[in-house]
Structure 1
């Protein structure tokens, strides 16, 4: 009896390159003795709803998605909300594909399909933020809205540069949020222009931004919170430190966390895996240790 793959792809992601390789990928899965059920997404939350609906009706050995980090987030969210927990495969075809870098997945979609069939099944941590799941990052503040405010057409034309240009447009309007942070036995209260809880060695296409000790299965996230600079020179220094992964800066709080609470008098917009995640006064974030099983490549 053949094993079964539920294959969900975003036809618009990353210059629509999945369309070029779709037949080859399905043939690859067929050679692996899999029966393949295919769905193309048509809009936001479509991947999540497809997963929930399909897993209610039938069983699958693998749920494979092709798209960007947002598509992967939807698939994982759908699995987390289902009783069945099949293994996840990922064919990265988005603009930055941060999480694919963590999983050591090749950029070539046919090669990534081979990894899905023959790679290592890996128990991986994910997070939950106010009831919403995230794969690798939840963030607020400077630049974080660039990913979801950038149009798909810009992403397809300019790639990662589209995010950078969108972020630069926001530089004159940077603002700080006064936030009280509770983690472990500690409380921090300060004015922050940026904050991130992450489980990734790559964020926004920048490698090493969360330090060198990131592990995807240690039950911990990396918390990074950037204080409000006092002038333009400090601001430039802070941005340089952040992008270079210099987390020993006087302007940056950096610590490992399992659970964290953030409280702010005004509502703060959040980005979840690069997509708009809502605005909140109070945020509760928790690490769900080894909550999913996902296929990764070799070192």
Structure 2
């Protein structure tokens, strides 16, 4: 089996990565390596595999690299999409952490090459695919405004720090939320739609999500006053059904019409939308995951 390894250019020269590739090549594996130089390279390298006989693609990088790979795979005919493996080389690595993919490059590459593949769902927001999480509102603003150096130094703690700095200056986003049989006006602080479970460097926003159940997990936090912080925190800790400020749903699709552009962090990529339609595409890609894996139902 020929395997194409696509490495983010920022990580390709790291000694641990080079050693992992060297070890694999000493075995009986036909491993070809491509290194990204600019935006769009991941998708181009994946499109080049069409009709080449390559059955498995491994991407090495952060959540954004995985995001680009998933969008590249969905451009191929479903019956000819290679299986995807992941080497987490980013700062947050939110999807890899929640899936239990090893953070050591050598172990992750070995899993990506020899591990079992599973058919998994993909989320799609306004035509853009995502594997892990779409988070809107306060969380997206915090992620966008956290300096990359601080993220690397403090991990998830950096997001909490910047979040505390922003908390009482944040203005909620008013709009209309629609999910299956529910349609209502709301004033949002956070809208999290998870195919996976965590975002923002370790914040578990949709802890009940499964990546192969054909559903998206939706967590909504509505505006609350300083006096109601205790109640809101208790509801966030439980994340069960319909609270006063926090609600949790499992649905195949969700719409949100915002009165002003809503910042969205999509697998680490920043966007703004006023009209949002998100749906689950069941069994869209084949993905190598460890066994056991908490994300599999």
Is TM > 0.5 for Structure 1 vs Structure 2?
yes
Alignment RMSD: 2.3
Give the superposition deviation at 1:267.
1.9
10 and 17 in structure 1: CA distance in 2 versus 1, 3 angstrom threshold? closer
State the SS of the aligned residue for 1:145: helix
Q: Which residue of 2 aligns with 1:186?
A: 182
Residue 173 of structure 2 contacts residue 189 of structure 2 at CA under 8 Å; is this kept in 1? yes
Take 2:203 and 2:156, find their aligned partners in 1: how far apart are those partners? 13
Q: Does 1:5 align with 2:15?
A: no
Q: What is the total number of aligned residue pairs between the two structures?
A: 289
Question: 271, 277, 286: which one pairs with 1:284?
Answer: 277
User: Which position in structure 2 is the counterpart of 1:40?
Assistant: 35
1:71-220 pair list within 5 angstroms: 71-83=65-77, 84-206=80-202, 208-211=204-207, 213-220=208-215
Alpha-carbon offset, residue 17 of structure 1? 8.7
1:87-127, Cα deviation, whole Å (9 max, x unpaired): 00001121221211333212211111121122221111111
Gaps of 5+ in 2: 293-297
Query: Contact 1:29–1:117 (CA<8 Å) still a contact in 2?
Result: no
1:261 aligns with 2:255: yes
**CA 1:32–1:89 in structure 2 vs 1: closer, same or farther (change >3 Å)?**
farther
> Which 4+ runs in 1 deviate beyond 4 A?
none
Distance across 2 between alignment mates of 1:132 and 1:101: 23
- Map of 1:223-234 to 2, 5 A cutoff? 223-229=218-224, 231-234=225-228
**Does 77-86 or 198-207 show the bigger shift?**
198-207
| Inter-CA distance 245–40: structure 2 relative to 1 (3 Å threshold) | farther
1:198-223 CA distances to partner (integer Å, 9 max, x unpaired)? 02233334465323x32110100111
TM-score (structure 2 length as normaliser): 0.88
The unaligned stretches of length 5 or more in structure 1 are none
Contact 1:55 1:82 in 2 (8 A): no
SS at structure 1 position matched to 2:162: helix
Partner of 2:295: none
